[in-house]
Amino acid sequence: MTTNPDVLTRNLDDLTKNLDGLTRNLDGLARNLDGLTRNLAGLTKNLDGLTRNLAGLTTNLSVIPEQNEYMFTGCAWQSLAG
């Protein structure tokens, strides 16, 4: 079987270009995955902060009735004393 050296050379050039393109695409994919990892870490941090804020809000809301009762009792005592 005979092969045309020009065709073989063109095919090898095309293969090289395709491999270069694949390498660039894989590099881009790696950068995108790094960015995604950073974004997910940031999201996790934000969700942790939100959880802490909601826990604090829940605590604050549960304390309000006690504070109101204390303030009312204090005002009543001041009225009686005054």
pLDDT, one tens digit per residue, over 6-47 is: 999 999 999 999 999 999 999 999 999 999 999 999 999 999
**In this predicted structure, what is the pLDDT of residue 61?**
81
Cα separation, 81 vs 75, in Å, equals 10
Cα separation, 61 vs 81, in Å, equals 31
Residue 71 CA to its chain's centroid (Å)? 43
pLDDT, one tens digit per residue, over 36-54 is: 999 999 999 999 999 999 9
**In this predicted structure, what is the pLDDT of residue 76?**
57
Which tops the pLDDT comparison, 75 or 57? 57
